Structure 1
Amino acid sequence: MTAPFVDWVTTGFTARFRIGPEQPVSLVSFVSAGGTPSDGTAEPQPLVELTTVGHGRFPGGFRHVDSTVGARLRYVAHEATGATDATDGSGVPDGTDASAAVVVTGPGIRIVQADAATGLQTVSVFRAHDGVPAFRTWTEVRAERGEHVVDSVSSFASGAWLTDSGVDVDDLSLTHAANDWAAESRWRTDPLRAIGLARIDREAQHHPPRSRAVVQNRGSWSTGEALPIGVLTGPGYALVWEVEHNGPWLYELGETRSAAYLLLSGPTDQEHQWTAVVTPSAPFTSVPVSVGIAGSIDQAFGVLTAQRRASRKLRAADAAMPLVFNDYMNTLMGDPTTEKLLPLIDAAADAGADLFCIDAGWYAEGHWWDTVGAWEPAASRFPGGLGEVVDHIRSRGMQAGLWLEPEVIGIHSPLAASLPDSAFVQHHGVRVAEHGRHVLDLRSPDARAHLDAVVDRLVGTFGVTFFKMDDNTMTGPWAGAVDGGRALLDWLDDVQHRYPALLIENCASGAMRADQAMLSRLHVQSTSDQQDPVLSASIAAAAPAAMLPEQAGNWAYPAPEMSDELFTLSLVNGVLGRMYLSGHLPRMSAEQRAVVGSAIAAHRQVLEVVDTVLPVWPLGLPGWEDPWVALGLRTASGDLYLSVWSLPGTSRTVALPLDPGPAPGRVVVEPLFPTAVAPWTVSWDGVAGVLHVDNGGATPTARVFRVRIEGADTGR
């Protein structure tokens, strides 16, 4: 008897699940709306992989597939959520042809499986948004009996991408990004055969290959080593995914006897020293992941952008998108005083900033790194009180913000002794100490009460409406790698519920915790701590691959001593996205301040549409040392805001392939910033669909253009 299928049909895609009495459930096909799902391979990858202490893998190895529990799981039921279902969630109806697909329509589906040997049960939860060819999914693990130490569980596993793409592993490549302090978003594309998937004779070996390609991150900095994002590409095919967790995670690619697989997961014991105990009264829910389907790299990130927007917890306050001036980068560098701040505040107001954020150091009487935690203003820095400075910010028509690193207590802070051990992250029963700090565990009522009191005091006393929330201390492995991170998210949700006008920037030594779990509920993301504007260029250009363009807080820190072209480049870095302005504005000449004003004016044009645009990269995702870099933001009307950087080592010219849309019309290329394009020259080749750019011999240099199509209905 041919195994039946359940087809989950949404307005964005169709997903086909294979269901049979002698095999675990598997996702065998995932195609865009209007596509025809395939039946998959003879030996599909199980949808859920689960190992416990005592129930590992067969055959053994380092891979997280081939789990004995996963192989024993059997279909119990499926349930449509917010949808209609031909079977009412009870399985295949009587009289139905076993080879026919049961159709589920709507935004969600839950698939229940059970392992008779252990009494473990899994529920695969899928959610979709209208019109988006992507789903969000996770795995719930329950126990009917006994106690089980889970040491790995997949949030998603499938080999559907191989059969849907119609190509072999030899033809597929992985696009992924390394991440590091001041060196974020270093994208590269590697053939799967070049990064771990060895080609062997499967028939001669009588076993599947044991090799795997793994991308992972360890510790509490969720993006401290790599981004939790990948794109698998073949000819005309792209599968994109993102692990949405503010802690450790991994994704894994490998081959089976007859096909291949992708597995997405939160922490594991093997890689992250993590386990969870599951009992009948204590289930476990894995971290959520998003998976989408497209035809190219740019389209894949367009899908991911749409998925992020649909999943984000937007508040009314987020709609304002204020232009922030922050006193830190290449300016006060953590040494604010009333005397230094007042001229900066006036200059920021004159430039047109909407919000002034006082960065690190406002609480410090002296050396402060390992004594922080109380977050009280330093009297020596503000003779008239911090309130005097905040009042001056407001008097100049701006909102006031403060830098805050709420999750840490310095090892020499009085709070380190007054708070109980249970308030802190511990490993093997010992309080973790890293970089001179302890880290608060937000599962603790004492830790949460302390942070609530800090926020209540700063918002209530000073009326701040913006926190730059930093996190400069990375913990190693600890038992709370999942539920501790969820406690932090719960605390953030509660703070913003209590203070609906409060905006929070997500920062962790730049972008060391730039994951979608945090970004789904916070206002803006620091993209880097990089102080060199030339090195910042590729970070700013790549940022919309890791986050929404409207959340990409790109530093723009012009300096009076810079050359004219470098001054301009430092501002170009901030125009597409969310400009995060800094720099010694009071020391600048009138001409330099006018350039800053022109950049802000250009940025405000982008701000009008930035929450609706889709990112494109005409030269491909920027590599860390690419000489020419380009980022485009495509509007719903078809216009393109385009930043182009010419960095050291470039040739004088470059050709940028641009898609002007399907409708004929005259392509107009206008300088947006600076308004005079010279010494650059640009020309449009309508036949080839290419924009030719000449930098005039200047480097490093950058420009922002607006590419419009006149006299055409683009249909976008």
Structure 2
Amino acid sequence: MTSAVPAVAKVTADPASRVFRLDGGGVTYALGVDDKGYLQPLYWGSSLAANDPLVSTDPVKTGDPVLVKAPGELSGFDPAGSVTLQEFPGQGEGLVSDPGIKAIFADGNRDLVLKYRSHRVDGETLYVELADIRRPLTVTLRYTIDPDTGVLARSASVRNGDRRAVRVDQIASAVFTLPVGDDYRLHYLTGRHAAEWTKKEVGITPALTVLESRRGSTGHGNNPYFAIGKDGLTTEEHGPVWYGALAWSGSFRISVGQDNLGRVRIMTGYNPYDFSWSLKPGETLDTPVFYAGYSTGGLGAASRTFHTFEQAHIVPGGQKARLRPVLYNSWEATAFDVTEAGQEALAEKAAKIGVERFVVDDGWFGARNSDKAGLGDWTVNPTKFPNGLKPLIDKVYTLGMDFGLWVEPEMVNVDSDLYRAHPDWVLNYTGRPRTEGRNQLVLNLARQDVRDHLLGVLDRLVTQNDVAFLKWDYNRNWTEAGWPGVPVADQQRVYVQYVGNLYYILSELRRRHPKLEIEACSGGGGRVDLGIIGLTDEVWPSDNTDPADRLMIQDGFTQVYPVSVMMAWVTDSPNWANTRATSLDYRFLSSMQGGLGIGANLDKWQAEDFTTARKWVAAYKTIRETVQRGALYRIDPPSNDNASSATMYVSQDRRQGVMFQMLHSSMWRDNPAAQHPQGLDPAQVYAVRVLGGGALPDGVPARASGAYWMEHGLRAPLKGDFVGTAFVFEVAQ
């Protein structure tokens, strides 16, 4: 719900105490300069009053503020440099924890000690400049805070003011510190291809926990996200949570652990693995942004708050962005056997069930009859489409749908015209093997000629055809990450410049084609992060479309990322991933909890399948905005040891809510407990109906107050295996 009074973010700098504060969304973040010139973290948590002391006062001077006190040596094994809290430490003066930056100067010096030099407040942004104590190297830290959610945006820029190059081997976007404690718990997301978004939880100890990707992209494994709670205090709906995510689509590193005094330190930014940047005289290197928040309402409130922020400030178009249309994708029906007639027949079937977007997947271009050839040659296959794509596109639009294409621009097959013309355009080391994955190599997008070529090809493809949507895939990780065409000192820039040029292409395509929508895909969830989400309209969370597995995948995904960008498809049964057989009803109920897509082979459907699909597509459109843009409540999260699950979505104005109840399997004569809706307005009266039609279960009233539904709950007498239902709550007229 929107507030009648606009929220305001406040950034203050007290020149007397040299304390800086950012306040917004019920959160205060504070930092200050100590008496030795180090920038120290002071506080991160619930809002403090304007006059609350963040540093001690001197009673002799009647309460006048004094500077933050820097600690002295703890022991010969713990010099002052190793125990002084620093907001962004350089690798020097005895630092033994992860630094904010590690550098090597031209003369071999590796000692880097950063102290406060200056600051400025520009509107709602705080800039603090740190400088080395001897060398002309500076780091500028940037802070903003969102007035509505209290989400911080932090990043750093390092500048070389020397006459010789400085090699940067590690640089963070941000370093965070939490007070001493042995009861912190780290929550994170991990997995692998077709098994992404698995929730994990570990205690935070002096043994460092590292979440990272060394793959050149975000990867299917650890996602660049963390949440930290308190043992025994933090649950789904209660307790403190510090959380955040990195807006970066390349190799990253997040380290979490206690320092030698028991304080929790979090470092996040570029992965230093195989990375270095020769910073030329006068050159600046910027980090990606890390977005971080704090909540007192448990993991559920943390994710709801983050979703609100992401939808308003990260997702293209913000609150005015188009809702995700119901999509059909042809891959399972035709694979590489794509023809004009075959696609037109599928389009006719898709239109009959209410699909709004028709997407031709792989196989429409070049010599693409298998995954062994054609990648890189983004021209229409004349045998499959003798008249080009126009007849099919015209057909699709006549049927009331818009048109999309699958592309994988960053890859190339050796058997392609592009590779034959430019074998030097791929990542490679001279004289070393070129390892193929899925029969393809990775183009070196760090090269400007490669960047410009891909932008030109895609621009022409969209311009010459009425293409409304691109499914942008990326189906392998890096090997032999060499760049032999540049000086040796610059070759390890490839990890950063590649992603920067990827962002450039996406941004420029969107500028040239404002109505074009793009889906980010990487064999499923192999490249999902706030960087790619900020430049695309939707993401593909996993190639695993089994509806039961997807409930857990979707639960993990939405811990950090909003439902508004999460696509979920109804595909064939048995599912390819695990051969599990499920009903079409169950598959729809699972997929309707995100952006609904259909990927099944419609050529094999029977009449009753089309009837079922029409019913569910129509039903989905009545709740689409609530699911995609509403507040998400994980009432009964799916898990391996829980036979049931329940998920609730509540519209922004709280006039509609929808609760999905899903049963994995029954045992004996299970008598499921009532599930309790959340997020409704307790004072409003809500009518309830079964989504898709059907009678209410015995004992469930047709209408009652929000307070009744949330306190009393309601039971869905589900029996059997892989069954579900959904209840829609709407304010009674």
TM-score, normalised to structure 1, is 0.83
Report what 1:306 is aligned to: 308
Q: Deviation of residue 696 (structure 1)?
A: 3.0
Report what 1:102 is aligned to: none
- Distance in structure 2 (CA, Å) of the matches to 1:31 and 1:71: 30
Report what 2:567 is aligned to: 553
Q: For residues 347-387 of structure 1, give each alpha carbon's deviation from its aligned partner in whole angstroms, at most 9, with x where no partner exists.
A: 11111111100011122453343441112223333355433
Q: Is the 8 A contact 1:24 1:70 kept in 2?
A: no
Report what 1:443 is aligned to: 446
- Distance in structure 1 (CA, Å) of the matches to 2:224 and 2:573: 34
1:227 aligns with 2:214: no
Report what 2:89 is aligned to: 49
Q: Is the 8 A contact 1:432 1:439 kept in 2?
A: no
Q: Deviation of residue 256 (structure 1)?
A: 2.4
- Which structure 2 residues correspond to residues 505-524 of structure 1 after superposition, within 5 A? 505-524=519-538
- Distance in structure 2 (CA, Å) of the matches to 1:539 and 1:681: 33
Give the alignment partner of residue 344 of structure 1, picking from 346, 353, 366.
346
Give the alignment partner of residue 118 of structure 1, picking from 135, 138, 153.
135
Q: For residues 262-318 of structure 1, give each alpha carbon's deviation from its aligned partner in whole angstroms, at most 9, with x where no partner exists.
A: 32322333xx21111223322211221100010110111122112212322524994
Counterparts in 2 of 1:264 and 1:563: CA distance versus 1, 3 Å: closer
- Distance in structure 1 (CA, Å) of the matches to 2:721 and 2:699: 14
Give the alignment partner of residue 605 of structure 1, picking from 622, 631, 644.
622
Q: Deviation of residue 410 (structure 1)?
A: 0.9
Give the alignment partner of residue 42 of structure 2, picking from 28, 32, 43.
28
- Distance in structure 1 (CA, Å) of the matches to 2:307 and 2:217: 22
Report what 2:58 is aligned to: none
- Distance in structure 1 (CA, Å) of the matches to 2:222 and 2:87: 25
Report what 1:274 is aligned to: 275
1:185 aligns with 2:225: no
Give the alignment partner of residue 261 of structure 1, picking from 253, 260, 264.
264
Give the alignment partner of residue 148 of structure 1, picking from 166, 171, 174.
166
- Which structure 2 residues correspond to residues 623-702 of structure 1 after superposition, within 5 A? 623=639, 626-638=642-654, 639-648=656-665, 653-660=672-679, 663-666=682-685, 668-672=687-691, 674-676=692-694, 686=708, 689=711, 691-702=713-724
Counterparts in 2 of 1:462 and 1:559: CA distance versus 1, 3 Å: farther
- Distance in structure 1 (CA, Å) of the matches to 2:248 and 2:20: 29
- Distance in structure 1 (CA, Å) of the matches to 2:722 and 2:111: 54
- Distance in structure 2 (CA, Å) of the matches to 1:468 and 1:519: 14
Counterparts in 2 of 1:64 and 1:75: CA distance versus 1, 3 Å: closer
- Distance in structure 2 (CA, Å) of the matches to 1:488 and 1:140: 20
- Distance in structure 2 (CA, Å) of the matches to 1:136 and 1:465: 32
The one-letter code of the counterpart of 1:375 is W
- Distance in structure 1 (CA, Å) of the matches to 2:698 and 2:470: 40
Q: Deviation of residue 615 (structure 1)?
A: 1.9
The one-letter code of the counterpart of 1:311 is H
Q: Deviation of residue 238 (structure 1)?
A: 0.6
SS in 1 for 2:495: coil
- Distance in structure 2 (CA, Å) of the matches to 1:514 and 1:70: 36
Q: Is the 8 A contact 1:45 1:158 kept in 2?
A: no
Q: Deviation of residue 460 (structure 1)?
A: 2.8
Report what 1:139 is aligned to: 156
- Which structure 2 residues correspond to residues 395-410 of structure 1 after superposition, within 5 A? 395-410=398-413
In the TM superposition, structure 1's runs of 4+ consecutive aligned residues that sit over 6 Å from their partners are 65-71, 428-431, 560-565, 677-685
- Which structure 2 residues correspond to residues 359-374 of structure 1 after superposition, within 5 A? 359-363=361-365, 364-374=367-377
Give the alignment partner of residue 335 of structure 1, picking from 312, 334, 337.
337
Report what 1:288 is aligned to: 289
- Distance in structure 1 (CA, Å) of the matches to 2:280 and 2:45: 37
Q: Decide which moves more: 360-369 or 504-513.
A: 360-369
- Distance in structure 2 (CA, Å) of the matches to 1:304 and 1:539: 18
Give the alignment partner of residue 241 of structure 2, picking from 231, 238, 252.
238
Q: Deviation of residue 678 (structure 1)?
A: 7.7
Unaligned residue ranges in structure 1 (runs of 5+): 83-106, 163-167, 199-210, 712-716
Q: For residues 154-185 of structure 1, give each alpha carbon's deviation from its aligned partner in whole angstroms, at most 9, with x where no partner exists.
A: 211122x33xxxxx533221111113211121
Q: Decide which moves more: 334-343 or 684-693.
A: 684-693
Q: Deviation of residue 319 (structure 1)?
A: 2.0
- Which structure 2 residues correspond to residues 489-500 of structure 1 after superposition, within 5 A? 489-500=503-514
Report what 2:107 is aligned to: none
Q: Deviation of residue 12 (structure 1)?
A: 4.8
The one-letter code of the counterpart of 2:117 is V
- Distance in structure 2 (CA, Å) of the matches to 1:694 and 1:226: 36
Counterparts in 2 of 1:512 and 1:416: CA distance versus 1, 3 Å: same
1:705 aligns with 2:707: no
Q: Is the 8 A contact 1:250 1:267 kept in 2?
A: yes
Report what 1:251 is aligned to: 254
Q: Deviation of residue 569 (structure 1)?
A: 1.3
Counterparts in 2 of 1:496 and 1:37: CA distance versus 1, 3 Å: farther
Q: For residues 630-657 of structure 1, give each alpha carbon's deviation from its aligned partner in whole angstroms, at most 9, with x where no partner exists.
A: 3322222234322222114675524434
1:19 aligns with 2:19: no
Q: Is the 8 A contact 2:323 2:564 kept in 1?
A: no
Q: Is the 8 A contact 1:632 1:640 kept in 2?
A: yes
Q: Deviation of residue 333 (structure 1)?
A: 3.2
What's the % identity of the aligned pairs? 18
- Distance in structure 1 (CA, Å) of the matches to 2:334 and 2:686: 44
Q: Deviation of residue 585 (structure 1)?
A: 3.2
Counterparts in 2 of 1:466 and 1:430: CA distance versus 1, 3 Å: farther
The one-letter code of the counterpart of 1:154 is A
Report what 1:157 is aligned to: 175
Counterparts in 2 of 1:38 and 1:701: CA distance versus 1, 3 Å: farther
Q: Is the 8 A contact 1:658 1:690 kept in 2?
A: no
Report what 1:213 is aligned to: 209
SS in 1 for 2:261: coil
Report what 2:115 is aligned to: 74
The one-letter code of the counterpart of 2:249 is N
- How many residue pairs get matched? 654
Q: Is the 8 A contact 2:244 2:292 kept in 1?
A: yes
Counterparts in 2 of 1:652 and 1:387: CA distance versus 1, 3 Å: farther
Q: Deviation of residue 38 (structure 1)?
A: 5.0
- Distance in structure 1 (CA, Å) of the matches to 2:561 and 2:324: 15
Report what 2:543 is aligned to: 529
- Distance in structure 2 (CA, Å) of the matches to 1:220 and 1:647: 37
RMSD: 3.3
Counterparts in 2 of 1:682 and 1:485: CA distance versus 1, 3 Å: farther
Counterparts in 2 of 1:696 and 1:603: CA distance versus 1, 3 Å: closer
- Distance in structure 1 (CA, Å) of the matches to 2:327 and 2:558: 19
- Distance in structure 1 (CA, Å) of the matches to 2:641 and 2:414: 39
Q: Is the 8 A contact 1:251 1:262 kept in 2?
A: no
Report what 1:484 is aligned to: 498
Q: Is the 8 A contact 1:630 1:645 kept in 2?
A: yes
SS in 1 for 2:406: strand
Q: Is the 8 A contact 1:157 1:261 kept in 2?
A: no
Q: Is the 8 A contact 2:353 2:613 kept in 1?
A: yes
- Distance in structure 2 (CA, Å) of the matches to 1:572 and 1:483: 42
- Distance in structure 2 (CA, Å) of the matches to 1:315 and 1:231: 27
- Distance in structure 2 (CA, Å) of the matches to 1:318 and 1:280: 42
